[in-house]
Amino acid sequence: MTAATSSGESARTSAEWENGELVITRPFDAPRALVFGTWTDAEHFARWFGPEGTTLPHCIVDARPGGTLHFCHRHANGEDVWVRGVYHEVVPPERIAFTCWFSDAAGGRVERPAFPAEMRLAATFTEHAGGTLLTIRQAGLVTDQGEVQGWTETMDRLGRLLAHD
């Protein structure tokens, strides 16, 4: 098990490798229902999801079992990375689980060299110290290819959004 914690604002985000999964944890000073809602509302999701310097110019969030997740990560250099997924579990305000893969703009699967064909994510929202402890488990990765930094920056963005809403 390897743990990583960043400095500054990110010091509250921890990352560990546990049984082949990347486990990200981060406490937020916000009610559980509010934190959960940032994952289920496309407008909110598009405002925080992704590392620093990315935007989501296209974002569909149909957060229900069998519903679709489809978004475009636009990087600062102009590169677009499309992701599509399907929700397997949505239990407000406790848990969201989905499978996702790289796609094209139409949602068709595409291969991205050195990345898995499919990844599984589960986000658990637990009441903690008057706020929420968010735990994300990402399975399907073979090694860290920037996900720890990406999730840390993503959690920082979510923290800033929650501080202003």
Average pLDDT, the chain: 92
Q: Residue 26 is encoded by which pair of tokens?
A: 């981060």
Residue 125 has pLDDT above 70, yes or no: yes
Q: What angle do CA 69, 73, 77 make, to 5 degrees?
A: 170
Instruction: Return the pLDDT at 165.
Output: 62
List the domain range (segments joined by +) for residue 18.
Answer: 13-164
| C-alpha torsion 49→50→56→59, nearest 10 | -50
Q: Does 109 score more than 90 pLDDT? A: yes
Within-domain flag for 81: yes
The band of 73, judged by pLDDT with boundaries at 50, 70 and 90, is very high
Please enumerate in sequence order all residues whose Cβ is within 8 A of that of 132, keeping only pairs 6 or more positions apart, or say none. 27, 28, 30, 31, 32, 34, 35, 125, 126
Tell me whether residue 8 is in a domain.
no
Is residue 55 predicted with pLDDT exceeding 90? Answer: yes
**7 within domain boundaries:** no
Q: Which of helix, strand or coil describes residue 150?
A: helix
Binning pLDDT at 50, 70 and 90, where does residue 10 land?
low
**Residue 67 counted as domain residue:** yes
What does the alpha-carbon distance between residue 5 and residue 136 come to, in Å, rounded to a whole number? 15
For 59-82, letters b (16+ CB in 10 Å) and e give: bebebeeebebbbbbbeeeeeeeb
Report yes or no on 3 lying in a domain: no
User: What is the Cα 151 distance to its own chain's centre?
Assistant: 7
User: Does a structural domain hold residue 5?
Assistant: no
Q: Cα separation of 35 and 143, whole Å?
A: 28
Question: pLDDT by residue (tens digit) across 23-51?
Answer: 999 999 999 999 999 999 999 999 999 99
CATH number at residue 115: 3.30.530.20
Q: Which residues pair with 131 in a beta bridge?
A: 128
6 belongs to a structural domain: no
Whether the per-residue pLDDT at 86 is higher than 50: the answer is: yes
Query: Is residue 2 included in any domain, yes or no?
Result: no
- What's the whole-model pTM score? 0.90
The answer to whether 67 touches 86, Cβ cutoff 8 Å, is yes
Quick one: average pLDDT of 136-165?
A: 91
Distances (CA, A) of 3 to 21, 25, 87, 130: 12, 11, 28, 25
- Domain total of the chain: 1
